Amino acid sequence: MKNTLKYIGLLMVGLVLFSCYKDKLPEKKTDDVIIDVPEGVSFQTDIQPIFTQNCINCHKAGSTAPDLTSGVSYAAITSGGFVVASNADGSELYNRLNGVGGALMPTSGALPADKIALVKQWINEGALNN
């Protein structure tokens, strides 16, 4: 009788232990986020305003390179090697906006995903001065 009670007790403990589990929620990946970016991103209309609003506090004449102020930013990023036309993943500008290959820019915190997507699209479209 004692052995039977032991077996029943062990069976009950086993059932309780194996019936308890925690569902793990799937991790959110930023790659899964789809951002609708229009074709034909314009440097002057779409990209320069991002620089003006988020970057020129540090990236201006006489300060940290590249100079991202209006009128000189395009030459600074294209001739300075910060952008590889048609290759966002190979461009330091795009990588720094994602914190890859160096400190995240801007240092105050990441830009919204839609702004980063605009920069990526502009670079992949050939990084034109339009």
Residue-wise pLDDT tens digits, 105-116 = 999 999 999 999
The distance in angstroms from the start CA to the end CA of the chain is: 89
Contact status, residue 91 vs residue 82, Cβ threshold 8 Å: yes
Q: Which domain holds residue 114?
A: 41-124
Which residue carries 């590889």 as its tokens?
84
Q: Is residue 104 part of a domain?
A: yes
Q: Is residue 84 part of a domain?
A: yes
Coarse DSSP helix, strand, coil percentages of the chain, rounded to the nearest 5 percent: 45, 0, 55
| The pLDDT value given to residue 58 | 95
Q: Is residue 1 part of a domain?
A: no
Does residue 4 carry a pLDDT above 50? yes
Q: Which residues contact 73 (CB under 8 A, 6 or more apart)?
A: 48, 51, 66, 67
Name the pLDDT band for 28 (thresholds 50, 70, 90). very low
Q: Is residue 64 part of a domain?
A: yes
How would you label 92-121 residue by residue, b for 16+ Cβ within 10 Å and e otherwise?
Answer: bbbbbbbeeeeeebbeeeebeeebbbbbbb
| The pLDDT value given to residue 122 | 98
Q: Is residue 13 part of a domain?
A: no
For residue 35, the 8-state DSSP code is -
Q: Is residue 74 part of a domain?
A: yes
The Cα 29–Cα 32 span in angstroms is 5
pLDDT tens across 42-91, in order?
999 999 999 999 999 999 999 999 999 999 999 999 999 999 999 999 99
Q: Is residue 95 part of a domain?
A: yes
Name the pLDDT band for 8 (thresholds 50, 70, 90). confident
Full-model pTM: 0.72
Give the mean pLDDT of the chain. 86
Report whether the peptide linkage leading into residue 49 is cis, meaning its omega lies within 30 degrees of zero.
Answer: no
List, as one string, the DSSP characters of 65-127: SS--STTTHHHHHHHTTS--TT-GGG-HHHHHHTT-SSS-SSTT-PPPHHHHHHHHHHHHTT-
| The pLDDT value given to residue 9 | 72
Count: domains in the chain: 1
Q: Is residue 82 part of a domain?
A: yes
| The pLDDT value given to residue 22 | 55
